[in-house]
Amino acid sequence: MSATVLLTDYAWPDDAIERRVIESAGFQLITGPASPAPESEIDALVEQHRPDAIMTCWAQVSSAAIRASAGLKVVARLGVGLDNIAVQTATERGIWVTNVPDYCVAEVSDHAVGFALAWTRGLISFDREVRSGRWNPAGANLKRLAHMTCGIIGYGRIGHATASKLNAFGCRVLSHTLYPPANIPDVQFVGLEDLMSESDIVIVHAPLTDSTFHLINRASLALMKPGGLLINVSRGGIVDTDAVIEALQTGQLSGAALDVLEMEPNVPEALLSSTGAMLTPHVAFSSDASLAELRRRAAEEVVRVLVGDLPEHPCNQPQRA
């Protein structure tokens, strides 16, 4: 009997790429609803189909789901972060957890730099003014990006790419990371407090973990120069939304560029009404090229594990693998 792969959800129009890879390997693909179902429904889907592999985009793959299928061998994330997967339970049960860590490096770093340019050049605020009938070039209060100090929280693949792009604009670039690499020209590695206090623009490129939850909060925002910009293209939970709203209201921040939110897709009215807020719907990772690569590579990881090979991008070391 061929192995079964459950695709819990997907943030694109169809499952054609995943299906082609899985079925060409001789396995069966079962697809859940496109929009992520509640955790209890995912648990029920796994209980019903007892898959050998689970692929998930945004849906929660809980400990109960992982325990529900005795033959489960791999949980593959269609993305980078693992905060929607019970990784510890998978590890304890000898199940691989994989991701695609580098599919959207160009896109997310572009998105972050795009936010910075939109802020320094007033692109979104001017567009809003012109559309509302105001034509006031004399009111421009613009900034030169080359004169900005940009602080990057997290220096993985995406943080490195963002730093390189900001260096090309002539920015001074700081970074805070747990394990600073050696011999990186044009990037100064500093503590978090120094980064917050010295940066005109703070960019979040860190993963969401217990230690990074609300890393950006009232206390850290208070360290920033008044009128700065916060950019989050990582995970919503790293940033205390209420603290950002307060900082926008008081002028401590003149801009908050957020691709992710704590309670997405619910957006607080105070952000919607703030002239300093730039909001995109968790799409920093997305492009035609990145999505095709993500979907193909995630499915190929599943095939590797199901045929008995090691995954290329393991995120754990299963105890019985």
Most distant CA pair in the chain, distance: 72
**Which residues participate in catalysis according to the annotation?**
235, 264, 282
28 in helix, strand or coil?
strand
Nearest alpha-carbon partner for 235 in 270, 264, 256, 255: 264
How far is residue 180's CA from residue 193's CA, in Å, rounded to a whole number?
16
Identify the bridge partners of residue 28 per DSSP, sorted by sequence position. 4
117 in helix, strand or coil?
helix
75 in helix, strand or coil?
strand
Tell me 155's DSSP state.
-
Are 238 and 232 spatial neighbours (Cβ–Cβ below 8 Å)?
yes
Q: Output the DSSP codes for 85-116.
A: B-HHHHHHTT-EEE--TTTTHHHHHHHHHHHH
How many residues are given for the chain? 321
How far is residue 300's CA from residue 18's CA, in Å, rounded to a whole number?
9
How far is residue 74's CA from residue 302's CA, in Å, rounded to a whole number?
7
Helix crossing, 157-168 with 105-120: angle to 10°? 40
Burial class (CB in 10 A: 0-12, 13-18, 19+), 71: exposed
